[in-house]
Structure 1
């Protein structure tokens, strides 16, 4: 973190106390001015009152003039202003301390967060005001950062484990070939090709996931119904090989986004629905539609019954449903994680629901394209 090159200045508490004292002094000066203008300024030089003399004429009575009154008024007025200044400074200092106490707690929590301590929370008490809203927003941000940081750590650990597996297998195969020169190299090369292909597949999936998270793509109108048709046609040979029937239906559903990423999203969903299905006689249904201000892509498949607690974990990276047995089409465990990232990058949502008859229903909701989109 770059050091702060700005010079230190007076604290906010001191500024608040000085401002409070200045307001009190200004109010006192205005009050004294009112007294002077409307009372002292109109005092006459002489007052005539009847004296009861036989001639009946009034006689003048001497009263202090304006200068005398001003000289008599100035010392107590100055004393009052001094007292107001002291009261303003002392009262403003303590009032500022009381009002800024929540800000001090927020500042302490910010320093702790800057030191990589994301578990701290402010939990500011009292009724809702500006400081409470700021503290609650900061607590929410810390909670999200902590969850994201934990997710990133789990992802890094899982990715390291997944990448280490093919590398360890490759090393083992090479060690065996070195120790047994007479071994058939054809079998070794084929196994190395499979392991290396899996490592490449995992690396490409990680790169795609990173690209989706960064939202570094061009947005244009995309019809999900056309993407669904392309994805199902591409995966139709795999479905026929596994004895799975694909059914497509729906209406035009135009959103704004990347055609390549949304095609990858749909392909991942259909691929998962084919692979995680019953061995023979399984079905996959792909449908699209528009619902108000959103468009939907729904992919559901038959299969084993899934408990709700398992469904909630399927979008985590490297989760593969009911079993983690690798096959030729098992994937690398990033299919739904990539789908989630692509949906979020397009300001959409991903919903997973276990079907009562078995299998899974996945619904992606994306914002509908505006009417004037080209």
Structure 2
């Protein structure tokens, strides 16, 4: 498919335009200067002078120029000066414009390189700060973000393909076993196929939710994060009781603006992860909501195993399940924190993960407070 572009008629370069502008301004300034000199000289030159009279009468040997004489002497020299200014303006303007536009040429080359798919190139324009260097720095920062985003998307696509392939491979294996062993118990096969199918559906729904959050295709309304936290904790209370984990909620009215469904999903994911990745017994999950310095803050922390900062930094990547990738019925599909981060970004917020010194994790979500 051909690249979409704008069909533009060829025109003069910016360097030529700047050169002509410099030369034109220099000519205008020179013409104004010569005009001022001319007007100043005319004030002291009479229209016509025949001679002067001394004590003994007219002195025919003394010559005083009139305006006609001044015009004949001034005009050629003024024309020469204007020609000099024109040549000087064109040559000097061309050189100065080239020096000024040199950074723009580097930025253009970097843009063309990035358009070919190479995002590792950086301009790194040296020198003190000005408009061109601010543009170059902004372009370098944009390339860095794009490169990181593309790398993340590639990892996500590879992980998603692997995760989606796993239930399909299991299903095919079970069907092959059932075909080769007609006397096998059909109830057990049916139960295992249902479990695999349920996991594939959960993974697909999680991927769709992640895509929806990143696309920001939702209607905004005022939402109280404290009520959302209570709703999520109440929904997951049976799971917490099953795993002998205590869930505590506290906070004040915390209004923000966004999608109630997405914010509830975000909070549910956080509480679910805090319950599942906890101590085997007598674990604790604390959910707190509150307003702080113009932000709506939701904090979920849990007890559990000690986590290193290096491992904590990777938990928001898709299909990361903590220190041990042990599958269980409540483990999820490895997109919980990735979805949380996407929902937070879609609401102009941010996500912070901090390992607790005593073990476990503290997750803080900051969203803009509703006015």
TM-score interval for Structure 1 and Structure 2 normalised by the shorter chain:
over 0.9
Q: Distance in 2 between matches of 1:284 and 1:211?
A: 28
What pairs with 1:134-283 in structure 2 (closer than 5 Å)? 134-283=135-284
| Per-residue deviation, residues 160-214 of structure 1 (Å, max 9, x unmatched) | 1111111111111112222222222221111111111101000000110111111
Counting matched residue pairs gives 367
| Per-residue deviation, residues 206-225 of structure 1 (Å, max 9, x unmatched) | 11011111111111111111
Q: What is the DSSP-based 3-state SS (H/G/I as helix, E as strand, rest coil) of the residue aligned with 1:46?
A: coil
Structure 2 match to 1:320: 321
Structure 1 position 63, deviation (Å): 3.5
Matched, 1:299 2:305: no
Structure 2 match to 1:123: 124
Matched, 1:110 2:111: yes
What pairs with 1:345-364 in structure 2 (closer than 5 Å)? 345-364=346-365
- Please say which of residues 151-160 and 74-83 is displaced more in the overlay: 74-83
Q: What is the DSSP-based 3-state SS (H/G/I as helix, E as strand, rest coil) of the residue aligned with 1:362?
A: strand
Runs of 4+ in 1 over 6 A off after TM superposition: none
| Per-residue deviation, residues 50-107 of structure 1 (Å, max 9, x unmatched) | 5453xxx344644343223312322222121111111110110011000000000011
Q: Distance in 1 between matches of 2:168 and 2:127?
A: 57
- 1:14 equivalent among 8, 16, 20: 16
- 1:34 equivalent among 36, 41, 44: 36
Q: Distance in 2 between matches of 1:296 and 1:33?
A: 70
Structure 2 match to 1:342: 343
Q: What is the DSSP-based 3-state SS (H/G/I as helix, E as strand, rest coil) of the residue aligned with 2:29?
A: helix
Structure 2 match to 1:23: 25
Contact 2:19 2:89 in 1 (8 A): yes
TM-score of the two chains, using structure 2 as the length reference: 0.95
Structure 1 position 286, deviation (Å): 1.3
| Per-residue deviation, residues 304-341 of structure 1 (Å, max 9, x unmatched) | 11111111111111100111011000100000111111
Q: What is the DSSP-based 3-state SS (H/G/I as helix, E as strand, rest coil) of the residue aligned with 2:144?
A: helix
Structure 2 match to 1:46: 49
Contact 2:250 2:288 in 1 (8 A): yes
What value does the CA root-mean-square deviation take over the aligned residues? 1.5
Q: Distance in 2 between matches of 1:4 and 1:274?
A: 55
Matched, 1:5 2:23: no
Flag the 1:133–1:256 CA change in 2: closer, same or farther, 3 A: same
Q: Distance in 2 between matches of 1:70 and 1:171?
A: 104
Contact 1:273 1:301 in 2 (8 A): yes
- Please say which of residues 265-274 and 58-67 is displaced more in the overlay: 58-67
Matched, 1:77 2:74: no
Q: Distance in 2 between matches of 1:294 and 1:13?
A: 48
Contact 2:279 2:305 in 1 (8 A): yes
